[in-house]
Amino acid sequence: MGNLVRILTAHQANATFLFSLGPDHTGWALRRALRPGFFSKVSRTSVVEHYGLKTLMYGTLLPGPDIGQRCAPELRAVRDAGFECGIHTWDHTLWQDNVARRNTAWTIKMMRKAAARYTQIFGAAPHTHGAAGWQMNVSAFVEHDEVGYRYASDGRAMLDERGAMVTASNGPHRVRNGNTILQCVQLPTTLPTLDELLGCEIDGKMLTTENIAEHILSLTAENRRDHVYTLHAELEGQKLAPIFEQLLKGWQAQGYQLASMAEYYDKIKELDLPVCPITWDELPGRSGRLIVQGKAA
């Protein structure tokens, strides 16, 4: 995280940091080995190289360290550097692999454990959320309204094989739960992530660390609108940091303002936003189903 803070500060770029606040059970993710597309992603993105063998054993051969307890000073340092902070989850792997089929009690327990830990660390209640693995259920969306979140980033815009948006109208929206329109505004991720693109052949060209920034910048040049880009501290904050810096420079050259979720919400909060059903689908380069923006009524 510290490296990301330094990079963003050097480029005068704002951002929102979303934290996992409980145990790190990254090793449990190996149970996804039978999921279609998992092995292809692992081979393309050099998982061991980016995460490290020790991290990949957390929850299996090694006990998962408690992130919120061990890293509280580092988390507060992000806030003290001027960046917005929010909740990603309590236990990333547990949430990502289970929430879609869990009940209300389990969901609320997980979310409130994360909220209590956030308050313990920062001395203030959390005010935003971005779901681990873009995995949610109805109870999780309702909980946002219960605790008063004004905005969150829990889902994705639908993308094609190039990573371009399929539906131009995707963007800030509210979610419908039956006949109820939930008030928390969703700010979906509109761009592909590095791990979804690296090693893929697009337009007859293999995307590598040498040309992937150019490809993503071509997407934002073609589709000039507000975008949400999701990065991972273990990727863009470490070995892929040079790519992230290329993106920051490129977006600024294209005229984009690099803002936090709070700043984005302030820009659109008075608009008449579309209302969309809770929808699941698959995205190119990512295994399994996740929350995507549904078609507005």
Residue 65 pLDDT class (50, 70, 90 cuts): confident
User: For residue 226, which phi and psi values (nearest 5 degrees)?
Assistant: -65, 135
Contact 144, 158 (CB under 8 A): no
28 has a pLDDT exceeding 50: no
Q: CB 106: neighbour CB atoms within 10 A? A: 15
For residues 271 and 261, give the distance between their C-alpha atoms in angstroms, rounded to a whole number: 16
Better pLDDT: 3 or 27: 3
Q: How confident is the model over 190-218, as a mean pLDDT?
A: 96
Strand partners, 89: 20
Written as one letter, the residue type at 50 is H
The alpha-helical segments, DSSP class H, found in the chain are 2-10, 38-45, 47-51, 53-56, 67-70, 72-80, 92-98, 104-122, 138-147, 194-197, 212-222, 241-253, 261-268
User: pLDDT exceeding 70 applies to what percent of the chain?
Assistant: 87
Say which DSSP state 55 is in. Answer: H
Amino acid identity, position 189:
T
Lowest mean pLDDT among 19-23, 62-66, 156-160, 172-176: 62-66
pLDDT of 105? 98
| The pLDDT of residue 174 is above 80 | yes
Give mean pLDDT, residues 132-139: 97
Query: Helix, strand or coil for residue 101?
Result: helix
Note whether 48 and 56 are within 8 A (CB). yes
Identify residue 245 by its one-letter amino acid code.
Answer: E
Q: Could you tell me the CA-to-CA distances from 21 to 16, 93, 166, 188, 229 in Å, in that order?
A: 15, 12, 34, 22, 22
Beta bridge partners of 177: 180
Q: How far apart are alpha carbons 55 and 27 in whole angstroms?
A: 7
> Given this model, what pLDDT does residue 1 score?
77
The pLDDT value given to residue 210: 97
Domain that holds residue 27: 2-293
User: What pLDDT shows up at residue 297?
Assistant: 78
> What domain count does the chain have?
1
**Which whole number is the average pLDDT over 236-246?**
95
- Give me the CATH number covering residue 145: 3.20.20.370
Confidence of residue 234 (pLDDT cuts 50, 70, 90): confident
The pLDDT of residue 240: 95
Take residue 208 and report the two structure tokens written for it.
């590598």
Beta bridge mates, 281: 290
Mean pLDDT of the chain: 90
Per-residue model confidence as pLDDT tens digits over 32-54: 444 555 445 444 455 445 444 44
Q: Distance between CA atoms of 151 and 260, rounded to whole angstroms?
A: 12
Using pLDDT thresholds of 50, 70 and 90, give the confidence band for residue 74.
very high
Name the nearest CA neighbour of 17 among 94, 130, 106: 130
Give φ, ψ of 109 to 5 degrees.
-60, -45
- Read off φ and ψ for residue 100, nearest 5 degrees: -60, -30
